[in-house]
Amino acid sequence: MAKTPTLRIIPLGGLDGIGKNMTAFECGDDMVLVDAGLMFPDDDQPGIDLVLPDYTYVLENEEKLRGIVITHGHEDHTGALPYLLMDLTHKVPIFSSKLTLGMIEGKLAEHNIKSPKFREVTDGSSVNLGCFSLQFFSMTHSIPGALGIFLKTPAGTVLHTGDFKLDQTPIDGVRPNYNAINRFGKQGVDLMLSDSTNANFPGFTPSEATVGASLRHIIKNAPGRVFVASFSSHIHRLQQVCDAATAVGRKVVVTGRSMVTNTKIARELGYLKIADEDIVDAFEINDIPEDKIVVLCTGSQGEPLSALARMANGEHKSLSICEGDTVIISATPVPGNEKSVQGIINSLSKIGCEVYDKTNATVHVSGHARQEELKLMLAMVHPRNFMPVHGEAVHLRAHAKLAEGMGIPRDHIFILDNGDSLQMRGGKVSLGPSYDSGIIYVDGLRIGDTDPVVLRDRQKLSQDGIVTCVVTLRSRSHKVADVDVSSRGVSFASDDELLAGIEDTCRTAIDKNNQGSPSVDVLRKAVRNSLSNYLWSKTRTRPMIIPVVMEV
Q: Which residues in this chain contact its own copies in the complex, by CB under 8 A? A: 42-43, 46-47, 200-201, 335-336, 338-339, 342, 345-347, 349-350, 355, 359-360, 392-394, 396-397, 441, 443-446, 450-451, 454-455, 457-459, 461-466, 468, 470, 472, 482, 484, 486, 488-494, 538-541, 544, 546, 548, 550, 552
User: At 126, which helix (H) or strand (E)?
Assistant: strand 126-129
How are the residues of the chain apportioned to helix, strand and coil, as percentages rounded to the nearest 5? 35, 25, 40
The nearest distance, CB 44 to its own copies, in angstroms, is 9
Q: Are 328 and 244 within 8 A, CB to CB?
A: no
The nearest distance, CB 511 to its own copies, in angstroms, is 20
Q: Closer to its own copies at the Cβ: 209 or 493?
A: 493
Q: One of 30, 123, 167, 195 is an active-site residue; which one?
A: 195
- The question of whether 504 is a catalytic residue gets the answer no
Neighbour-count burial of 394, counting CB atoms closer than 10 A to its CB (0-12 exposed, 13-18 middle, 19+ buried): exposed
How far apart (Å, rounded) are the C-alpha atoms in residues 336 and 345? 16
Binding-site positions read 47, 49, 72, 74, 76-77, 141, 163, 232-234, 364-368, 390, 443
Q: Closer to its own copies at the Cβ: 26 or 357?
A: 357
Binding-site positions for Ca(2+) read 47, 49, 443
Binding-site positions for Zn(2+) read 72, 74, 76-77, 141, 163, 390
Q: Closer to its own copies at the Cβ: 251 or 399?
A: 399
The nearest distance, CB 322 to its own copies, in angstroms, is 16
The nearest distance, CB 326 to its own copies, in angstroms, is 14
Neighbours of 106 (CB within 10 A): 13
- The question of whether 382 is a catalytic residue gets the answer no
Q: Closer to its own copies at the Cβ: 342 or 430?
A: 342
Q: Closer to its own copies at the Cβ: 59 or 550?
A: 550
Pairing relation of β-strands 126-129 and 132-138? antiparallel
DSSP per position, 215-256: HHHHHHH-SS-EEEE--TT-HHHHHHHHHHHHHTT-EEEEES
Closest by CA to 182, choosing from 422, 376, 437, is: 376
DSSP 8-class letter at 269: T
The nearest distance, CB 92 to its own copies, in angstroms, is 27
Q: What order do you get walking across the sheet with 22-27 strand by strand?
A: 118-120, 94-96, 65-69, 30-34, 22-27, 7-13, 422-425, 428-431
Q: Closer to its own copies at the Cβ: 463 or 529?
A: 463
The nearest distance, CB 193 to its own copies, in angstroms, is 19
Q: Are 369 and 377 within 8 A, CB to CB?
A: yes
Neighbour-count burial of 249, counting CB atoms closer than 10 A to its CB (0-12 exposed, 13-18 middle, 19+ buried): exposed
Active site residues: 195, 368
